[in-house]
Amino acid sequence: METWVRYGKGRLDFSVPDGARVIQCPAMEPLADPVGQINEALERPIGSEPLATLAGKLSPGAKVVVVISDITRPVPNQALLEPLLGKLEACGLERGQITILIAAGMHRPSTAKEKIELVGERLALCYRIVDHRADKPQSLVALDAWTPHGQQVWINRQYYQADFKIVTGFIEPHMMAGYSGGRKAICPGLVNLDTIQQFHGPQVLANPKTRAGVLDGNPCHQEALAVARAAGVDFLLNVIVNPDKQILAVVAGEMERAHAQGVEWLEQQCTISDVGLYDIVVTCGGGYPLDATFYQAVKGMIFAEPLIKPAGTMVIASSCSEGIGSEDYQQILFQYSHSWKDFMRDILSRQQVQRDQWELQVQCGVLKKIGKANLLFVTDGIEAQTLAKCNVMPATQLVPEAASEPAVLMQAVLNKLAGRYPQASWAVIPDGPYILVKSPTNSK
């Protein structure tokens, strides 16, 4: 049978044995009038006065900060910002009073080209756009507040000192925090390195409730929520989108209540249940921009893990057009390239949390279940000898005779597996991490 997975800005088409199950969220029509729905949400928010009413109470010269996600998140920022900023300007706010703040967390600063991609050329020219820098202590302020794990809250100074604070984003299943959106724009989006490291700490990630689709008792969620409450959020605008960035639903208003309603909608509409376990699972990093680095592609592994049998085989495709990820992450991967069990032992026995170590920690959950030799990685963005240091099996090692072009390589790998395991059960996840599978192993 013919099927596909997302890859970069396109997709890889291939055939798998008849009877394979293709697992996707139910098809839903995007909003016919997303701008109209956003305006409606701003005018009739959840648990809050309308945005225009709140903005109309601001004193002359008030400073407003609008937080957006960075380039690694497929948020339709321009669609959100156009009506939101229009409301603010209609209330008498001048463009110079408004700053668009990119919640970059520990990610690198945006390039000028990426800022245009994020918000569109017109908004990029009309508004001041700045990146949060977790590595710049002078851009942060310490609050008289602590997280549930005893971490003092440090927040972006420009955000905290603003007179009116708006957060935007999208809600999707998140492999650590249960769901994205809401409080995650603040933590890890606008906090310091220590808070981010605690948010992703080894003990937090080892908690069985630190997983996709779980908020109740999730320590990662609780940490982020405590930080957001301390920093303050005056208004939230979140959307739910399909993998093509088309808007399916809009929520706006008081941060916690609006986010909760968005999560409820997502769970009702997009949860996949009773899918079973499979010998071979084919998935991907989600396509651009999520699969631009190996670091982000790990999410595809995590969301596919509940579907695979112990010692099964996973094939994951990711363009990795920007390589592995941060230098710190690469160093950790290479240090433990042949000893992920040593990595787990070391991080659980020390207090210090290294930047980006959490991504290898969650990958280790997959390695524990199926082993490195059964985690096959298809990409044309990282050379095979480098990829072999990332605790995956480069697909070219299974089929060295195949061409390196991703679609050809993918088909060769699948043909090899079909011949080797003629009785195997198969599943394909075309959208990668853009699904939420509820099963006995990850139920709330």
User: CA 95, 124, 172, 6: dihedral to nearest 10 degrees?
Assistant: 170
Neighbours of 163 (CB within 10 A): 13
DSSP state of 382: S
Within 371-405, residue ranges assigned H as helices are: 384-387, 395-398
Domain that holds residue 383: 2-23+275-438
Residue 443 belongs to a domain: no
Backbone region of residue 17 per phi and psi (left: phi > 0; alpha: psi in -120 to 50; beta: other values): beta
Bridge partners for 11 per DSSP: 6
| Per-residue confidence (pLDDT) for residue 201, from 0 to 100 | 81
| Per-residue confidence (pLDDT) for residue 439, from 0 to 100 | 55
Same structural domain, 264 and 284: no
| Per-residue confidence (pLDDT) for residue 442, from 0 to 100 | 44
Same structural domain, 81 and 211: yes
Residue 427 tokens read as: 């599943």
Same structural domain, 281 and 181: no
Domain boundary among 253, 270, 287: 270
CATH number at residue 360: 3.90.226.30
Integer Cα distance of 420 and 373 in angstroms: 14
Residue 252 tokens read as: 């706006």
Going by C-beta distance under 8 Å and a sequence separation of 6 or more, which residues neighbour residue 151? 194, 195, 198, 223
Residue 348 belongs to a domain: yes
Phi, psi for residue 218 in degrees, rounded to 5 = -80, 110
Same structural domain, 255 and 286: no
Residue 193 belongs to a domain: yes
Bridge partners for 238 per DSSP: 169, 251
Same structural domain, 126 and 91: yes
Q: Taking the CA atoms of 123, 124, 127 and 131 in sequence, report the sign of the dihedral they define.
A: positive
| Per-residue confidence (pLDDT) for residue 404, from 0 to 100 | 84
Same structural domain, 257 and 288: no
CATH number at residue 210: 3.40.50.11440
Domain boundary among 215, 248, 270: 270
Same structural domain, 426 and 328: yes
Class of residue 125 by CB neighbours under 10 A (exposed 0-12, middle 13-18, buried 19+): exposed
DSSP state of 110: P
Residue 147 belongs to a domain: yes
> SS in 3 state form for 370-384?
HCHHHEEEECCCCCH
Bridge partners for 375 per DSSP: 314
The number of domains in the chain is: 2
Residue 156 belongs to a domain: yes
Residue 95 belongs to a domain: yes
Residue 444 belongs to a domain: no
Same structural domain, 266 and 318: no
DSSP state of 187: T
Domain boundary among 248, 270, 292: 270
Q: Are 328 and 354 in contact (CB under 8 A)?
A: yes
Q: Which amino acid is present at 262?
A: G
* Widest distance between CA atoms in the chain: 72
Within 17-131, residue ranges assigned H as helices are: 34-43, 51-56, 77-90, 112-119, 121-126
DSSP string, 269-318: HHEEE----EEEEEEE--STTGGGSHHHHHHHHHHHGGGEEEEEEEEEE-
Same structural domain, 249 and 295: no
The number of angstroms, rounded, from the C-alpha of 432 to the middle of its chain's C-alpha atoms is 12
Integer Cα distance of 398 and 387 in angstroms: 13
Q: Taking the CA atoms of 176, 179, 180 and 186 in sequence, report the sign of the dihedral they define.
A: negative
Phi, psi for residue 388 in degrees, rounded to 5 = -65, -20
Encode the chain (444 residues) as per-residue pLDDT tens digits.
999 999 999 999 999 999 999 999 878 899 999 999 999 999 999 999 999 999 999 999 999 999 999 988 889 999 999 999 999 999 999 999 999 999 998 888 999 999 999 999 999 999 999 999 998 999 999 999 998 888 899 999 999 999 999 999 999 999 899 999 999 999 999 999 888 877 778 888 889 999 989 999 999 999 999 999 999 999 999 999 988 889 999 999 999 999 999 999 998 887 888 789 999 999 999 999 889 999 999 999 999 999 999 999 999 999 999 999 999 999 999 999 989 999 999 998 887 788 889 899 999 999 999 999 999 999 999 999 999 999 999 999 999 998 889 999 999 999 999 999 999 999 999 999 988 886 544 443
Going by C-beta distance under 8 Å and a sequence separation of 6 or more, which residues neighbour residue 194? 151, 154
pTM of the model: 0.86
Same structural domain, 231 and 368: no
Same structural domain, 185 and 330: no
Integer Cα distance of 250 and 268 in angstroms: 15
Residue 29 belongs to a domain: no
Going by C-beta distance under 8 Å and a sequence separation of 6 or more, which residues neighbour residue 110? 70, 71, 102, 104, 118, 129, 131
Same structural domain, 120 and 172: yes
Helices (H) and strands (E) in the chain, counts: 17, 20
Phi, psi for residue 347 in degrees, rounded to 5 = -70, -30
User: CA 36, 40, 46, 50: dihedral to nearest 10 degrees?
Assistant: 130
Place of tokens 């990146």: 131
